[in-house]
Amino acid sequence: MADRLVPIGSAGGRAAAVLVAAVILSALLAVGLRADLLSGLGPGEWAAVRFTLAQAALSAVLSVGLAIPVARALARRQFYGRGVLITLLGAPFILPVIVAVLGLLAVFGRAGWINGALTAFGLPEVSIYGMHGVVLAHVFFNLPLSARLLLQGWQAIPAERFRLAAQLDLPPRAVWRVLEWPLLVRVVPGALALVFVICLTSFAVALTLGGGPRATTIELAIYQAFRFDFDLGKAALLSLVQLGLAGGAALIAFLVIPQIRFGTGLGRLQQRWDGIGTLQRLADTVWITAASFFLLGPLSAVVASGLSGLGKVPFSVWLAAWTSLWMALLSIFVLLVLALPMAGWIASRTRGGGEAVGLLGLSASPLMIGTGWFILLNPVVNPTDVALIVTAVVNALIALPFALRVLVPPVRDTLEQFSRLGAALNLRGWGFWRWVILPRVRPQIGFAAGLTGALSVGDLGVIALFADPDRATLPLQMYRLMGAYRMEAAAGAALVLLTLALGLFWLCDRGGRWHAEV
């Protein structure tokens, strides 16, 4: 298509991309200039690098490995509540980390359900802290995500293939080899890469369940160098290491990461004629039951203890909830202002590559950007005064790659379908956005906004770097309550936070799809 037929300009998109790159690269520059390169990495920092890689690899293998039988069972079984369960698989992605950690503690913690059962039978207790706690939490978040990705793959197998397999009366092993194995070869590498990258930059999980010389991620080490030692040189050096690691992995991963689709359509059940053996049924039942408990146990623990703790919630929690809410709204605003023009620009290019800018947000860790901007802002203003704004912007940047993945395809479709008609009617620029793109892409905009809002409201990252005792977001306030062993109040705060995150997501997503016609 000739360039002059594209009915929207590219200036806004380019400007947004340049702005994103500038925010991230100036943080990088600040960090690079400040980094204590001469001192190099001490044994403690090397341990953090090793731990970060080890836990991310382990989390990826376990999440995806366990997701395979779960997705397989979900793909071929019909049962009551199947649709709800599949929808719930999407929940951990927008669940505030600190809330999930509290739920996991209630099930696997020292006074949790599992240990209660173990001691009742006279067995030794298990500890949730350290490497296995961190991995457990990561699997809790990423097993459902992987299961959804794999389920998408399963549903991409045309029904005719299963019909053909039934016609030929292929035994289970042959169905596996002919249909399911080729699918896994295609989907699994991407899922592994995605989980690995997500876990590389893990902060809140390591902060709450890790720590100490044996279980510190690089991200946590940045925080500690910054917050406890106030050693900016070391924090900056670690940020560079983190950037190299996560950036490299993200770059490789983004090439293999499958299209992330969160929307509906996964509830559809394919008609299958295989997998009717007793043993297979039994195995599928066990996998589905186990996955449901693993997912729903911590969630229901949060709701149950939250309801009883709601009365003991101090006023500071409600104040923090208000702060978190408007910060999340600011994040959504920043995201949309950046993502929409960028999506238009990327979608109207015939060659790829524009998404690489959004990718910067994924590869640069939040704490690296935070550290960089602390260094830049410190001489000018008191960084704690702008803590919330910096946090809101960083959260928008983190959500940007996901938002672009969601927004670019429908914008591209709209341009392909309607550019000609737009040109014939002289409908261009803002008019084309206003009357054609925005109404057609509204469901995806709502979804991206909801995702950003939920991620932002539940974020415990940059804010931990900047905050002072007077200013706190809800996750930080909750973390402080946990640190002070006020567990009932923390449980109440967790319920408030959960409601806020899911509510924001639901409102935006619903608002986007309200009366939307395609």
Partner 1 sequence: MLRCDNILVRQDGFELQADLVLEAGRKAAVIGPSGAGKSTLLLAIAGYIPLARGRIIWRGQDITLSAPGNRPIAMLFQDNNLFPHLSVEQNVGLGLRPDMRLTADDRKRVTSALERVGLAGQSQKRPGGLSGGQQSRAALARVLLQDRPLLLLDEPFSALGPALRADMLDLVSDLVAETGASLMMVTHAPEDARRIADDLIFVADGKAHPTVPAAEALKTPSPALQEYLG
| Contact footprint for partner 1 (CB under 8 A) | 2, 4-5, 417-418, 420-421, 423-428, 431, 434-436, 439-440, 516-518
Nearer to partner 1, 2 or 185 (CB): 2
SS (H, E, C) 279-295: HHHHHHHHHHHHHHHHH
Q: Taking the complex as a whole, how short is the minimal distance between the CB of residue 421 and partner 1, in angstroms? A: 6
User: First-to-last CA distance in the chain?
Assistant: 24
Nearer to partner 1, 276 or 425 (CB): 425
Distance between CA atoms of residues 353 and 349, nearest Å:
9
Distance between CA atoms of residues 327 and 499, nearest Å:
16
Q: Taking the complex as a whole, how short is the minimal distance between the CB of residue 424 and partner 1, in angstroms? A: 5
Q: Taking the complex as a whole, how short is the minimal distance between the CB of residue 4 and partner 1, in angstroms? A: 6
Distance between CA atoms of residues 340 and 445, nearest Å:
8
511 and 446 Cβ atoms separated by less than 8 Å: yes
Q: Taking the complex as a whole, how short is the minimal distance between the CB of residue 427 and partner 1, in angstroms? A: 4
Beta-carbon contacts of residue 111 (< 8 Å; ≥ 6 apart):
none
141 and 93 Cβ atoms separated by less than 8 Å: yes
Radius of gyration of the chain (CA): 24
Nearer to partner 1, 303 or 423 (CB): 423
Q: Taking the complex as a whole, how short is the minimal distance between the CB of residue 9 and partner 1, in angstroms? A: 13
Nearer to partner 1, 2 or 38 (CB): 2
The amino acid at 64: V
SS (H, E, C) 27-45: HHHHHHHHCCCCCCCCHHH
DSSP 387: H
DSSP 435: I
Nearer to partner 1, 349 or 428 (CB): 428
Distance between CA atoms of residues 482 and 370, nearest Å:
24
Nearer to partner 1, 2 or 255 (CB): 2
Longest dimension (CA), the chain: 79
Q: Taking the complex as a whole, how short is the minimal distance between the CB of residue 36 and partner 1, in angstroms? A: 56
Nearer to partner 1, 79 or 430 (CB): 430
Distance between CA atoms of residues 211 and 231, nearest Å:
18
Q: Which residue has the tokens 């997701």?
A: 67
Q: Pick the closest to residue 57 from 154, 152, 164, 134 (CA basis).
A: 134
Distance between CA atoms of residues 267 and 87, nearest Å:
8
Q: Taking the complex as a whole, how short is the minimal distance between the CB of residue 428 and partner 1, in angstroms? A: 7
Q: Taking the complex as a whole, how short is the minimal distance between the CB of residue 432 and partner 1, in angstroms? A: 9
Q: Taking the complex as a whole, how short is the minimal distance between the CB of residue 510 and partner 1, in angstroms? A: 18
Nearer to partner 1, 304 or 438 (CB): 438
Nearer to partner 1, 181 or 430 (CB): 430
